[in-house]
């Protein structure tokens, strides 16, 4: 029988991996080696998707702004260009929120840009 070394640290390391794999199915949550593989894979996906999330939300904001612009008779690109010329510094997240929740305020913004 081999002699074990550094038992408390090893156990805590394994417990940490198994805790991270909680909720996985079958051996992926119970067997250490499989849990380690799949929890590392999960961390890789989490890292990747934290970056993808930013892209996805930006495209959603642009779609919402474009829809608001279209309902007020202006294109998205000319609206953004007009905002820059009028020196109105609102980011796309805020503009999308205004367009989605307060269409009358967004219409006022469009009128400022047009005028």
Q: What span, in angstroms and rounded, lies between the C-alpha atoms of 30 and 37?
A: 12
Domains in the chain, ordered, with CATH? 9-114 (1.10.1900.20)
Record the pTM: 0.77
Please report, rounded to a whole number, the percentage of residues in the chain having pLDDT higher than 70.
100
User: Which residue do the tokens 């608001």 mark?
Assistant: 68
Q: What span, in angstroms and rounded, lies between the C-alpha atoms of 90 and 13?
A: 47
pLDDT of 115? 81
Q: What is the dihedral of CA 59, 61, 63, 68, to 10 degrees?
A: -170
pLDDT tens-digit map of 3-38: 778 889 999 999 999 999 999 999 999 999 999 999
Report H helices in the chain.
7-20, 27-30, 32-71, 76-85, 92-101, 103-114
């Amino acid at each position: 029988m081999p002699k074990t070394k550094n038992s408390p640290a090893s156990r805590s390391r394994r417990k940490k991996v198994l805790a991270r794999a909680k909720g996985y199915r079958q051996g992926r949550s119970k067997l250490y080696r499989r849990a380690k593989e799949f929890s590392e894979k999960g961390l890789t996906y989490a890292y990747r998707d934290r970056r993808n999330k930013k892209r996805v939300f930006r495209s959603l904001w642009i779609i919402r702004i474009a829809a608001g612009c279209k309902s007020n008779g202006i294109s998205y690109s000319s609206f953004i260009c007009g905002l820059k010329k009028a020196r109105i510094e609102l980011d796309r997240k805020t503009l999308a929120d205004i367009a989605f929740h307060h269409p009358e305020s967004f219409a006022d913004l469009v009128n400022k840009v047009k005028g």
